[in-house]
Each structure stands twice: as C-alpha cells, then as structure tokens.
C-alpha cells in the first residue's frame, strides 16, 4: 500500500505556477516516480485551474470553496480536517504556514523568515507572531531550503533545532536539457531578442531592487543592448517605465507572463542574468542561469552565498562601481561569443530533485513513525 501524503497545494491551484509551485510540483513528480508514495493535493479555489504534477501513480485533488479563506479559515480548519478524513500519513504544509490543529503528523517547509523579519508576506499580529510559532512547535518536522535559512529560523525559534532539516531544491531538468539555439517564436513575438539583452528576475518588492536595476542599466550607457524585466505585474509596467530616462525607455522590455517551457531559452540567450536582491531563502534564478551556462551577477548576501558557481559574480549589493564594471566586462565578452559555460552546467547539475525527494521521504517517514 502506498504511503499517502497530503499537501497544501494552493500554489498549484492558480492561473500560473511559480514560486512555491515550482517546489511542490517537481518534488511530487520525483517522489511519485518511486511508486511508494501517493498524494492528496489540497487546493482552495475551484474557480481557478489546478496544475497536477506529472508522474505515475494515483493522486486526489480536493477543492472546496470556503468563505473566509482569505482569513486562514481554509488553512486552519478545512486542511487538517480533510487530511484526517482522507487518512493521510503525513500532511506537508509547503509554504511557511501551517494549522495549529494537527490531527495527523504535520511537516512544514519554511523557505525563509521574510514574513517575520520584514512583514513582506504576513502582517505582524496574532496570526504571524503567536499562532504560527505555536503551530511550528507542535509539528513533527520542519524543512528549510538553505543553511542560511536554517540560521534565520534558529535565530527566531532555537527550540526547533532538533526537528529542523535542510533540504535543497532540485533543478528543473529542462534547464540542463537546453541546448544553444535561437529564441523561439513565442519569445520573439514579445519583442525579446530585438537587441542582445540582459535579464532581470525579481519583482516589485523593495528587497528585489528593480529600481536599482533600472538605474544600473541606464548607467551602463550601452545603446546596443536591452534589458528584459521579468516578474513585474502588468499593471505596474507603465509606472516603472516612466521612471526611465527617455533615451533608455525603448530598450527596456517589461515581459508579460512567459511559459515555463520558454524560460530556458530566455536564460540561455541572455548576455547575463541580473539578480540584485537583498535577501533570498534559496535563489532559483542564479541556479537556472548557471544550468544553461549563462553568466549571472547577484548580491553576495543570505543564501545566495551558497549559489556561487563557475559563471557567477557575487558582489557587494551596494558596490555600484563593481556592478557596472562587472556588467560591462560580461557584455563585452558575451557579444564576442555566446557559447555556454560547461563547467557551470556541471556545477548546477548537483542540484537534483531525486536527491531532494529522497531526503523528503526520510522526513515523512520519521514524522509518521515508520521504521527505516
């Protein structure tokens, strides 16, 4: 009989899978391929699509329309009730939060402590500062994704150390399969590739430093290259575009949502990837860039110190002169030849979802009290 895992899969019950969904989906696929594990994926929005992870084996999807889901009703009441009803062996809460009521063994992944340190995702108050810490102390196991995040978690809750485990993300194999080649028509249709380009990944949160990136690109003073900005909601495009000097504005393209299958080509054909964020729990864009052999320039902070590979340039975040000099050097070298760096691809291949799945299985087994 398969070991049934319940998963908070709100990250898959959405228009587009990004962020936590890119953690749960490949993890579930890697684990289901063993044939020993089956899943119940729990979503909360019947009005939105549900993106089922690929792979063999049974899977159940539970969707309920619970009024008040915005106020944690779904998470705190329905999720644990459904897990108990379905007889799951372990409930995996995948995105920093979890119920206080835990009628089945519960595992949580804390990706970072940003909600507690900055309030970026969760406002301070009873839920963030009282309920969630109490739920963390009740759960069987806590997973985090980098040594840096582990240190941050223990700074806030040192009593979690005995049940805290670091398990790194894997790398989506589409990046390792990517071979040099032209941009696909789907990206060309968006205007990407009209000029050789740098690409920024992030968003509008202050720690991501989009404004700093736009100013840096202008300061490069290169009329022969463009900048592709990813991760910014369409409603914010015009506002950021207006902050640019008129002579720079035509060379900055705010990309719409791009299909996952197009992303390796976007990375691969870039001159370089810019990732000036001030804090990350893991740092997927630097890993993806190195997997396709493209140079990446990022801030030498937090978990990104664990992402330093052969084609990375980890710089002090506010050393503007170093960022300008590094970007100019990379642009010159890449315009002279765009061959991928094979040493970088070999380095990135160490991040394997099969290894991550094996480590998650060990945590699930321990949480459920199943002998090795």
Determine the average pLDDT of the residues in 116-124.
78
- Residue 68: the pLDDT is 47
Domain at 3-170+352-368, CATH from 3.40.50.1970, 3.40.50.2000, 3.40.50.720, 3.60.20.10: 3.40.50.2000
Give 289-341 pLDDT, tens digit per residue: 999 999 999 999 988 899 999 889 999 999 999 999 999 999 999 999 888 88
Q: Angle CA(122)–CA(123)–CA(127) in degrees, nearest 5?
A: 75
Dihedral sign (CA 346, 348, 350, 352):
negative
- Residue 70: the pLDDT is 56
- Residue 268: the pLDDT is 94
Percent of the chain beyond pLDDT 90? 69
Q: Is the pLDDT of residue 271 over 90?
A: yes
**Of 312, 222, 329, 321, which Cα lies nearest the Cα of 274?**
312
Mean pLDDT taken over the chain:
90
- Distance, CA of 298 to CA of 123 (rounded, Å): 28
Q: Angle CA(147)–CA(322)–CA(233) in degrees, nearest 5?
A: 65
Determine the average pLDDT of the residues in 256-267.
91
Predicted TM-score (pTM) of the model is: 0.90
- Distance, CA of 136 to CA of 151 (rounded, Å): 16
Strand bridging mode 3-8 / 37-43: parallel
Give 35-74 pLDDT, tens digit per residue: 688 889 998 888 888 888 876 555 556 655 555 455 688 8
Percent of the chain beyond pLDDT 70? 94
- Distance, CA of 240 to CA of 227 (rounded, Å): 13
CATH architecture of 173-348: 3-Layer(aba) Sandwich (3.40)
**Of 200, 216, 185, which Cα lies nearest the Cα of 289?**
200
Which residues face 41 on adjacent strands?
7, 61
- Distance, CA of 110 to CA of 166 (rounded, Å): 10
Neighbours of 15 (CB within 10 A): 10
Neighbours of 348 (CB within 10 A): 23
Determine the average pLDDT of the residues in 267-291.
93
Hey, what's the torsion of the CAs at 64, 69, 74, 75, to 10 degrees?
A: 140
- Residue 260: the pLDDT is 86
Residue ranges of the chain assigned to CATH 3.40.50.2000 = 3-170+352-368, 173-348
**Of 291, 307, 294, 320, which Cα lies nearest the Cα of 209?**
320
| Integer CA distances (angstroms), 182 to 68, 188, 264, in order | 48, 10, 11
What tokens does 131 get? 């309920």
**Of 173, 193, 174, which Cα lies nearest the Cα of 183?**
193
Which residues face 228 on adjacent strands?
199, 253
Instruction: Judge whether 131 and 325 are in contact, CB under 8 Å.
Output: no
- Residue 180: the pLDDT is 73
pLDDT band at 107 (very low <50, low <70, confident <90, very high): very high
What tokens does 122 get? 């969760």
Residues with Cβ within 8 Å of 113's Cβ and at least 6 positions away in sequence, in order, are: 149, 152, 153, 155, 156
DSSP helix/strand/coil, 297: strand
Give 125-142 pLDDT, tens digit per residue: 999 999 999 999 999 999
- Residue 72: the pLDDT is 85
What tokens does 259 get? 């299909």
Give 177-231 pLDDT, tens digit per residue: 866 788 999 999 999 999 999 999 988 888 999 999 999 999 999 999 999 999 8
Determine the average pLDDT of the residues in 232-242.
91
Q: Is the pLDDT of residue 31 over 70?
A: yes
């Amino acid at each position: 009989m398969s070991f049934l895992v319940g998963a908070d899969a709100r990250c898959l019950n959405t228009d587009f899978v990004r962020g936590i969904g890119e953690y749960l989906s490949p993890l579930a696929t890697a684990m289901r391929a063993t044939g020993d594990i089956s899943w119940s994926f729990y979503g909360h929005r019947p009005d939105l699509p549900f993106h089922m992870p690929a792979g063999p084996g049974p899977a159940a999807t539970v969707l309920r329309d619970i009024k008040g889901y915005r106020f944690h009703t779904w998470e705190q009441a329905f999720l644990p009730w459904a897990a108990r009803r379905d007889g799951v062996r372990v409930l995996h809460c995948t995105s920093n939060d979890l119920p206080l009521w835990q009628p089945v063994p519960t595992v949580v992944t804390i990706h970072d402590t940003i909600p507690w340190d900055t309030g970026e995702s969760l406002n301070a108050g009873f839920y963030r500062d009282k309920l969630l810490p109490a739920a963390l102390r009740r759960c069987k196991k806590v997973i985090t994704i980098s040594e840096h995040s582990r240190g941050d978690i223990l700074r806030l809750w040192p009593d979690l150390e005995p049940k805290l485990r670091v398990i790194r993300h894997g790398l989506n194999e589409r990046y390792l399969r990517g071979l040099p080649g032209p941009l696909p028509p789907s990206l060309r249709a968006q205007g990407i590739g009209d000029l050789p380009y740098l690409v920024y990944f992030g968003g509008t949160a202050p720690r991501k430093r989009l404004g700093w990136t736009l100013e840096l690109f202008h300061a490069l003073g290169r009329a022969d290259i463009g900048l592709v900005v990813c991760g910014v909601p369409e409603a914010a495009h015009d506002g950021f575009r207006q902050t640019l000097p008129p002579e720079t504005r035509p060379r900055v393209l705010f990309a719409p949502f791009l299909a996952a299958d197009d992303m390796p080509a976007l990375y691969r054909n870039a001159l370089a990837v810019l990732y000036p964020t001030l804090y990350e729990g893991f740092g997927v864009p630097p890993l993806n860039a190195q997997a396709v052999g493209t140079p990446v320039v990022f801030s030498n902070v937090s978990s990104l110190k664990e992402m330093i590979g052969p084609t990375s340039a980890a710089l002090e975040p506010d050393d503007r002169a170093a960022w300008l000099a590094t970007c100019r050097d990379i642009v010159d070298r890449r315009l002279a030849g765009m061959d991928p760096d094979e040493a970088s691809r070999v380095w990135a291949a160490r991040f394997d979802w099969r290894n991550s799945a094996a480590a998650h299985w060990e945590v699930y087994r321990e949480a459920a009290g199943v002998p090795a």
